[in-house]
Each structure stands twice: as structure tokens, then as C-alpha cells.
Structure 1
Amino acid sequence: MKIKFWGVRGSIPTPGPSTVKYGGNTTCIEIRTDDNDLIILDAGTGIHALAQNLLKEMPVQAHIFITHTHWDHIQGLPFFIPIFIPNNHIKIYGGIDPVTNETINRALSVQLQYSFFPIREAQLNARIEYATVKPGVPVHVGRAVITPIVLSHPVLNFGYRIDCDGQSVFFTGDYEPQLNIYDPEDDEYAEFQSFVDAKWDEVVLAMKDVDALIVDSSYTNEEYASKQGWGHGTYDSGIKLATAAKAKKLFFTHHEPTRSDTSLEIIYQNLLQNNPGTGCELLLAQEGIDISL
């Protein structure tokens, strides 16, 4: 398999001179199997640049797996040029929101309302399909097997494991490891801790022995102290996950929008110095870099 990051930023796009190296587009990851099947993880603004790259491959068959429907993970969908071109086949996968009971088709149809976009959904020329994913139920794309798992975030969020060609990738989407909401002296603490521990074991098992683990690592520990419950992980929580899962490579992504290239590199060097024995390679996700597993 091959991986290419087209968007690595969290929350809001951050173009400008301070984000040129690592990138300012929001989340989008391209996965190619050895058979050249195209799997896309999330459709943030980075999917627009991916679309330009795909124009030379027309017609295309693309499988877009949405982790969750916050804007920074879907806002590029109306700008994914293949949806306007005949003979392309685009299949969009996602969950059923337990609050609204809406399926993933809402992610595109809402954005194509006349108040927000000049083109109507009826004007799309590609063949568009929608598919609902369920926790633990594998989806097959060619020889690839994509397995969803629900991960903690303030909206329904799926992490996806992709297994193909004897290799594996896991992407968390936006993920804040579950915390115990009770104090140790509370009667409910022990029972809730059992739930937290069981969920941790489930998550680690889902990403066990992957060749590449891509994690939401928005915050430093110092920043996280004031942002608990916002739904995002830290660099240290990512390393803890990778160590427990025995991942071979760990990619930190969903870079905090105020984080410059210089700030990212300072954090990265500190991580390398302070975590020499993790057993996996630590890497910053960077737009435009081709990665072969």
C-alpha cells in the first residue's frame, strides 16, 4: 500500500508562509493498494488538491470513508472535481448519526443547498453512492478490508483499519482517549474505570501490529490541560497508543491550526529526544509526501 497526505491540519485551513512545509489543508488521506484501488480517508479541504491530481486518471472509482461530519473533515466534498464528471463512480461511506438519525449522504447534500453552493446535487454527473458503515463490520474494496471502530469524539467518529497486500494502516479520525469523568473517591469511579479500561483494550486491539498508525495529536500535554473534552488527543497519547499496539510507524496529524512549521519541528525534536525506546518510527504527517509501506 501507499499513503499520501493531502490535508493534515485540524479545525480550519491555515494557508500562509508559516505552514508551507507541513501544509495548511484540513484532513484528507489517499490510500492506494497494489491493485491501484483508491481509498480516501476524509474529505477536508485537502481533497481538492487530490482531485486535481486525479484528473489525469479519468474515469476514476473512488471510495471515500468519512470518519465524522465535522466541517474540517467534509468541507472539501463539493470541491472534489470527479463528482462533476461523467463516468466516474464515487462511493461515500460513513455512519448513522445517533442524535439526528441522518446517514452520511447528508454530508454532501446539505453543502449543495442553494444557500451554500451554486451547483445542485441533481447537477452532479458522476455516479454517487452512499454506504452506511457499522462498528466491527468489514467493508471490502477490491482486496482491501476496511474495518470501522467507534472512537471517542463529541460526534459519532469512526477510526478505520485498512488491511491489504499483507500490510495495514489505521487512522483514528479525531480521537480523545476516554477519561474517567469521576474522582477516585466517587462511588461511580471504579465502575466507570472498568468501562474506560475495556474501551482502551478494544482500541488497542483494533490497531494491533499495524504498519502505519495515523493519530489525532492536536495538543501538547500543557495545552490539553485546558482542553479536556474537546475531542482531541496529544502527542503523548499517540505514542502511548502506538507503543501498546506495537505499530511500526506513527504519524502525528490534525496539526493545531495555530501551529507553525517551526513550532511543529520544535515539538517533533523534543518527542524524538524524550521517547527513544518506543519501538516505532515517529513522524509528522506532511502534505504531498508519498509513503510506501
Structure 2
Amino acid sequence: MRFRFWGTRGSLPAPGPDTVKYGGNTTCIEIRTENDELIILDAGTGIRELGMELAPRDLLDCHLFISHTHWDHIQGAPFFLPLFKPGNKVAIYGPPDPVAMTGIETVLSRQMAYPHFPVRVVELQADIVYETLTDGHVVDLGFATVSTHLMNHPAMNFGCKIKCEGKTIFFTGDHEPHFNIYQPDDDGYEEYEEVVSERCQALEDCLQGVDVFIADAQYTEEEYRTKQGWGHSTFEKTLELARRAGVGKTFLTHHETSRSDSEVDAIFDRLCKQWNTCGVDFDMAREGEKFQL
């Protein structure tokens, strides 16, 4: 199994000379098996370039998993060229809209509806099938299994655990560590603390021993003080989770929109010094980089 980052930026694309090293496109990850079967994680703006690479090839059969439907994770979908090619087969999986109680197909088609987009869903010519996911859902693709885990984010967000060829990758989508929304003196504090503890343990159990952990780490600890509740983790909190779960290698991604390459470099250097004896193997996700498991 091998994988490649096509987008590593969080919240909003950030192209320009200051983001060349780590990339300016939003989240998209390509996963390939030894037999070249294709799984795609998220359809941020990075999926446009992936689609351009795939477009000249013969007919495509792929599986696209959407962690959640915030703009930065679906904005590239209408620009994914394989969707416009007759004969291509694209299966799209993702969460429902919990407010409207509609499936993933409705959520994605809405972004291509007037007045937001000039091309309608009916103009897509590939053979597209949709499957709406639930927590703990297991999708058997034949060559791999993809299971979901409900993360903590201000939208229904499913982390994806991909098992294939004896290896495992876990991708969080967007995730903020669970925390108690009550103060210790508030009614309901103790009950909610139990829920927080259970959810934290469930995630740690799900991550135990995975080979690759691709995780949202958008903020520094200082930034997080004013952004708690926004749905994203910090570098340190993510690395601590990786340490407890004993994962093989962690890739820190969903880089803050305003963060330059030099700033990411400085954070990485600091983390390397602080975590060099903690037994955690980690790196910053870089757009375009390829890895083999």
C-alpha cells in the first residue's frame, strides 16, 4: 500500500511563494494498493490536480471517502475531471446532513446548484454511486476495508481506518480532542466527564498500533487557547495521542491557512527537540510527497 498527499492545507487554500514546500491546496490523499486499486480521502482543492493526472488514463474505478462536508474538504469535487468521463466508475462515501436528514449525495449536489456553481450534477457523465456512512460503518471494497469512527468537530466528521495488505492507515479528517464543556461546579459536569473519557478511550483503542496516523494538527497550544471549540487539534495533543496509541508514524496535517513554510519549519524543529526521546515518529505532511508501506 502506498499513499500521496495532494492537499495538506486547512480551512482555505493558500497558494503562493510562502507555501510551496508544504502546499497550499486543501485536504486530499491518494491511497493505492499493490494492484493499483484507488482510494481517495477527501475532495479538497488538491483533488483537482489528482484528477488531472488521472484524466488521460483508461477508464477509472475509484472510491472517494469524504470525512465531512465543510468547504475545504469538498470544494475540489466539481473539478475532479474523472467525474466528467463516461465509463468511469466513482463510488462516493460520506456522512449525512444531520439537520436536513439527507444523504451524502444531497450534500454534495447542493454545492453545484444554482447560484453557487455553473455546472449541474446531471452533467457529470461518470457512473457515480453514493453510500451514506454511519459511526462504526465498515465498507468492504474487496481489496481493502474502510471503517469509520466519529470524531469531534462542528460537523458530522468520520475518521477513516483503511486496512489493506496487512497495513493500516487512520485519517482523522478534522478533529479536536474531546473536552468537558461544563465547569467543575456546574450541574452535569461529572456525567459529561464520563462521556469525554469514554470517547477519548474509544479513539485511542481504534488507533492502537496503526501503521500510519494522518492527523489534524492545525494549532499551536497558544493558538488553541482562543480557538477551543473550533474543531481542530494542536501539534502536541496529536503527538501525545499517537504516543499513547503506539502508532507507527504520524503525519501532522491541515496546516493553518496563514502559516508560511518557514513557520511550519520552525514548529517542526521545535517539536523534534521536544519529542526526540518520546518514541514518537512524526513528520509534517507535504503536498506531493509519496510514501510506501
| Fold equivalence (TM over 0.5) | yes
> Displacement of 1:152 after TM fit?
0.6
Please name the residue that 2:32 is paired with. Answer: 32
Query: Residue type matched to 1:206 in 2?
Result: C
Are the counterparts in 1 of residues 96 and 107 from structure 2 also a CA contact under 8 Å?
no
Are the counterparts in 2 of residues 248 and 279 from structure 1 also a CA contact under 8 Å?
no
Where do residues 113-192 of structure 1 align in structure 2 (5 Å cutoff)? 113-192=113-192
Distance 2:107 2:40 in 1: 15
State the Cα deviation string for residues 164-217 of structure 1 (Å, max 9, x = none): 100000000010011011222334222211111100010111111111001110
Distance 1:137 1:59 in 2: 28
Distance 1:15 1:137 in 2: 35
State the Cα deviation string for residues 132-180 of structure 1 (Å, max 9, x = none): 1121121012321100011110010000000110000000001001101
Where do residues 198-237 of structure 1 align in structure 2 (5 Å cutoff)? 198-237=198-237
State the Cα deviation string for residues 241-273 of structure 1 (Å, max 9, x = none): 101111010000000000000000000010010
User: TM-score with structure 2 length normalisation?
Assistant: 0.97
When structure 1 is superposed on structure 2, of 92-101 and 209-218 the one drifting more is 92-101
Query: Residue type matched to 1:66 in 2?
Result: I
> Displacement of 1:277 after TM fit?
2.8
Distance 1:120 1:228 in 2: 37
> Displacement of 1:35 after TM fit?
2.1
> Displacement of 1:98 after TM fit?
1.8
Structure 2 unmatched runs, 5+: none
> Displacement of 1:121 after TM fit?
1.6
Please name the residue that 2:256 is paired with. Answer: 256
1:57 is paired with a residue whose SS is coil
Are the counterparts in 2 of residues 31 and 40 from structure 1 also a CA contact under 8 Å?
yes
Please name the residue that 2:289 is paired with. Answer: 289
Q: Is residue 81 of structure 2 the alignment partner of residue 81 of structure 1?
A: yes
Query: Residue type matched to 2:228 in 1?
Result: Q
Query: Residue type matched to 1:176 in 2?
Result: E
Distance 1:124 1:181 in 2: 43
Please name the residue that 1:110 is paired with. Answer: 110
Distance 1:107 1:19 in 2: 30
State the Cα deviation string for residues 44-72 of structure 1 (Å, max 9, x = none): 00000100111233211111100100000
Please name the residue that 1:276 is paired with. Answer: 276
2:21 is paired with a residue whose SS is coil
2:223 is paired with a residue whose SS is helix
Distance 1:107 1:81 in 2: 20
Query: Residue type matched to 1:262 in 2?
Result: S
* Poorly superposed stretches of 4+, deviation over 4 Å: none
Query: Residue type matched to 2:81 in 1?
Result: I
1:56 is paired with a residue whose SS is coil
1:105 is paired with a residue whose SS is helix
Distance 1:277 1:187, change over 3 A: farther
When structure 1 is superposed on structure 2, of 212-221 and 93-102 the one drifting more is 93-102
Distance 2:268 2:191 in 1: 37
Distance 1:142 1:205 in 2: 25
User: TM-score with structure 1 length normalisation?
Assistant: 0.97
> Displacement of 1:279 after TM fit?
2.1
Are the counterparts in 2 of residues 253 and 284 from structure 1 also a CA contact under 8 Å?
yes
Query: Residue type matched to 1:268 in 2?
Result: F
Are the counterparts in 2 of residues 74 and 107 from structure 1 also a CA contact under 8 Å?
no
Please name the residue that 1:92 is paired with. Answer: 92
Where do residues 25-64 of structure 1 align in structure 2 (5 Å cutoff)? 25-64=25-64
Q: How many residues align?
A: 293
1:279 is paired with a residue whose SS is coil
When structure 1 is superposed on structure 2, of 112-121 and 47-56 the one drifting more is 112-121
Are the counterparts in 1 of residues 97 and 107 from structure 2 also a CA contact under 8 Å?
no
When structure 1 is superposed on structure 2, of 107-116 and 188-197 the one drifting more is 107-116
Distance 1:100 1:151 in 2: 20
RMSD of aligned alpha carbons: 1.1
Are the counterparts in 2 of residues 136 and 147 from structure 1 also a CA contact under 8 Å?
yes
Query: Residue type matched to 1:102 in 2?
Result: T
Are the counterparts in 2 of residues 7 and 46 from structure 1 also a CA contact under 8 Å?
yes
Query: Residue type matched to 1:88 in 2?
Result: N
Are the counterparts in 2 of residues 179 and 196 from structure 1 also a CA contact under 8 Å?
yes
Q: Give % identity.
A: 47
Query: Residue type matched to 1:135 in 2?
Result: D
